[in-house]
Each structure stands twice: as C-alpha cells, then as structure tokens.
Amino acid sequence: MAYEARAVVAREKGAPVSVETITVPDPGPGEVVVRIRACGVCHTDLHYREGAITDDFPFLLGHEAAGTVEAVGDGVTNVGPGDYVVLAWRAPCGRCRSCRRGRPWYCFDSANAAQPMTLAGGVPLAAALGIGAFAERTLVAADQAVKVDPAARPEAAGLIGCGVMAGFGAAVHTGEVGLGDSVAVIGCGGVGNAAIAGAALVGARRIIAVDLDPRKLEVALHFGATDTVNAAQADPVDAIRELTAGYGADVVIDAVGLPQTFRQAFYARDLAGTLVQVGVPDPSTTIELPLIDLFGRGGALKSSWYGDCLPSRDFPILIDLYLQGRFDLDRFVSETLPLEAVEDAFAKMQRGEVLRSVVVL
C-alpha cells in the first residue's frame, strides 16, 4: 500500500514552488520510508528551482531533514521502524572504484531509492539530492538514513544533513584545518558559518569571516570568527592579507561559488595554502587565472562535496557535540515554518535575512 504525502514541488524552471499531493511507494528491497519531522531550506533547493543543477523537472525539493523511520523494505538492517534518523545524500556503495581505493567520501555510485515518488497521474519526481524531504514522508535508500541520538531536536538535527555538514567538513575534512591555522571563509550563510564553527572546534588560531552583509558577520562572531571583513566596503584579499601579517590565510573557503569569490579565495591564500570551493557555481560561469600564479603560488585547489563527509561516521559525532553544548546547531535555526512557506523562505534567503529557515511537519 503506497502512501500519500503533501510535498513541495518545483514544476518548471524559475517558477514558484507549489505544495502538491505526491505518492510515496511502499519501500522495496533496501529502501525505507521516513516520516519527516523537520527539513531546512538550503540554497541548493533554490539552485534546483532555478534549473541550475539539472533540467529534470518536476523536482521534489528539500534535503536537510530529520525524521522517524516508518517502514523498511526487505534486507534492511541498519534501521528499523521508530528509529530517529538524519537523511544523507551520500551513502557510499563500498564497491565502486573510489570506495575500493579507500575513499568512500567520493563514492561514484552512492545509493538512492530505486523507485520514484510520483505526482498524480504517475509523473515521476526527481528528488533533490536523492532525498526530497519537504514532504510529510519520503522514500530513500536505507543507507541514506543515519541513526542519531533522539535527544537532538529535529529542527537542529536535520541541518547536519546538508549545509552544516558541508561547511563543517569543508574546513575540517577537505581543508584539513588544524590547531593554529589561519582560515578565511568567504560567504557566511549556513554553509560558511558551519565552516567557521568547524575551524573553531579544531583549534584554528585566526578565523576571518567575509560577507557583504553585516548581519551575517555578526552571527559569524558567535560561531568563532576572530575577525570580520565586509566585502562591500573593503577588498577581501587585501583585508585577509592584512590580518595575516601580509601572507594570506593557510586555508580559504569559498562558500559562495561565484567567479569573483573563487578568485578572491585563490589570492587570499598564503603560499602553498589551500583553497576549498564549497559554494556551488552556476554552470554558465567560467574563471580565467594566470597559469604562472597557479604554479608559482603552489598549494591546493580543492572542491568539497558535502564536506567530504561520511554520514554514518560524522552525523553522530556532530549530534553529540551539539548535545554536549560544544557546537551551537540551534543558532543556525533562524525560524520554523510550514510547507506552504518554502517560497517565502527562498525570498528571505535571497534577502539575507536568515541562516536557515526550517520547515517543520
């Protein structure tokens, strides 16, 4: 018996999203149905709506979610009905060439549900990042459901399912920030501030927050930024160099994804420094850099998908740090709202009014 659920759907490129009734199939082998309790609004949902990820409309949006497992298909052993889970958009297969090389965080064949969820009339939905959680229920591969401590409230816990994990991991895993490092983070939305929090937790000595919006810089100080730079008023490259004895930062994280922020991150690094690109660029954009600067400055340019995380390892760690009061997940939750308000939440995100709007169900 399939389930019906109210859900947020993007029907066509650039058009406002709508709340529709969808059909969620019974879980097949290796699949689970999750009753969603909260789902954060991430900039990537807006990228989907804008057609900037793929053209596979209609999309079922939402992918930063916590919920309770409702039903499991044959062969599922990692979770059972009633388990409290955070959903992950990476579930390493263990068999692809990357997993076999011992790099499961790059898994090239990450698991998703095999069956599609559908609109009335059987139109298949493409679930955002293989999740689709602006919905009362969703269907995912069992390994996408990661059990965490149920003491963590869903509004906060769900956020580690995407933006917070991506930012935190961009600093800690991809950038390998460690004790004493200098770090600059360009773009202090949910992702950038999570990078700041991660850098602070592992002992970075100087953490420079860069944004165009003074409200974001104010919040960054709470997450552990030691200095702030308003990029609308000062050149961020000059400012970062000034704050690092003229050298530049050991690690610069671009949490925006524009050609100009990438360029700033490139030149704001110290020699042999690391650039981490975690902001998702629009597919139409390009960048040109003098090859001699690429060669001569050394170091590493790394992109970070999902903060190079392993959800089954990292989600419970972040939740425990949260419950111990060492990682302020609650501060990412700017507001809670119903499914009907996702379009409003996009507008607030674009106006810079929120770190995360969280849909509660």
Ligand X SMILES: NC(=O)c1ccc[n+]([C@@H]2O[C@H](COP(=O)([O-])OP(=O)(O)OC[C@H]3O[C@@H](n4cnc5c(N)ncnc54)[C@H](O)[C@@H]3O)[C@@H](O)[C@H]2O)c1
Q: Does 186 bind ligand X (CB under 6 A)?
A: yes
Per partner kind, with CB cut-offs from 5 to 8 A, the member of ligand X, Zn ion, none near residue 253 is none
Least distance in Å: CB of 49 to ligand X? 12
Phi/psi region, residue 257 (left: phi>0; alpha: psi -120 to 50; beta: rest), is: left
Phi, psi at 303, each rounded to 5°: -95, 155
Least distance in Å: CB of 168 to ligand X? 11
Least distance in Å: CB of 151 to ligand X? 25
Token reading at 246: 């003229």
Does the bond joining 58 to the residue before it have cis omega, within 30 degrees of 0? yes
Instruction: Answer yes or no: are the C-beta atoms of 236 and 229 closer than 8 Å.
Output: yes
Interface segment toward Zn ion; rule CB under 5 A; list 93-101, 221-229, 249-257, 304-312:
93-101
| Sole binder of Zn ion in the list 2, 53, 96, 258 (CB under 5 A) | 96
Instruction: Answer yes or no: are the C-beta atoms of 282 and 51 closer than 8 Å.
Output: no
The closest of 106, 257, 102 to 169, measured between CA atoms, is 106
Q: Does 278 bind ligand X (CB under 6 A)?
A: yes
Spatial separation of the C-alpha atoms in residues 344 and 258, rounded to whole Å = 24
Number of other CB atoms surrounding residue 224 within 10 Å:
18
Residue 233 CB-half CA count within 13 A: 8
Q: Does 193 bind Zn ion (CB under 5 A)?
A: no
Binding mask 217-246 for ligand X (x = CB under 6 A): --------------x---------------
Residue 104 CB-half CA count within 13 A: 13
Residue 35 CB-half CA count within 13 A: 10
Number of other CB atoms surrounding residue 27 within 10 Å:
24
Residue 258 CB-half CA count within 13 A: 7
Phi, psi at 319, each rounded to 5°: -65, -40
Number of other CB atoms surrounding residue 329 within 10 Å:
23
Q: Does 99 bind Zn ion (CB under 5 A)?
A: yes
Least distance in Å: CB of 280 to ligand X? 4
Spatial separation of the C-alpha atoms in residues 74 and 308, rounded to whole Å = 30
Least distance in Å: CB of 162 to Zn ion? 3
Token reading at 24: 């969620």
| Sole binder of ligand X in the list 24, 162, 172, 358 (CB under 6 A) | 162
Per partner kind, with CB cut-offs from 5 to 8 A, the member of ligand X, Zn ion, none near residue 93 is Zn ion
Binding mask 134-163 for Zn ion (x = CB under 5 A): ----------------------------xx
Per partner kind, with CB cut-offs from 5 to 8 A, the member of Zn ion, ligand X, none near residue 51 is none
Q: Does 44 bind ligand X (CB under 6 A)?
A: yes
| Sole binder of ligand X in the list 109, 176, 213, 343 (CB under 6 A) | 213
| Sole binder of ligand X in the list 110, 144, 226, 304 (CB under 6 A) | 304
| Binding residues for ligand X, total number by CB under 6 A | 34
| Binding residues for Zn ion, total number by CB under 5 A | 10
Per partner kind, with CB cut-offs from 5 to 8 A, the member of Zn ion, ligand X, none near residue 67 is none
Q: Does 188 bind ligand X (CB under 6 A)?
A: yes
C-beta of 153 vs 263, nearer to ligand X: 263
C-beta of 83 vs 211, nearer to ligand X: 211
Token reading at 52: 């900037």
Least distance in Å: CB of 192 to ligand X? 6
Spatial separation of the C-alpha atoms in residues 261 and 36, rounded to whole Å = 35
Q: Which residues bind ligand X (CB under 6 A)?
A: 42-44, 47, 162-163, 166, 186-192, 210-213, 216, 231, 255-258, 260-261, 278-280, 304-306, 349, 352
Q: Which residues bind Zn ion (CB under 5 A)?
A: 42, 44, 92-93, 96, 99, 107, 109, 162-163
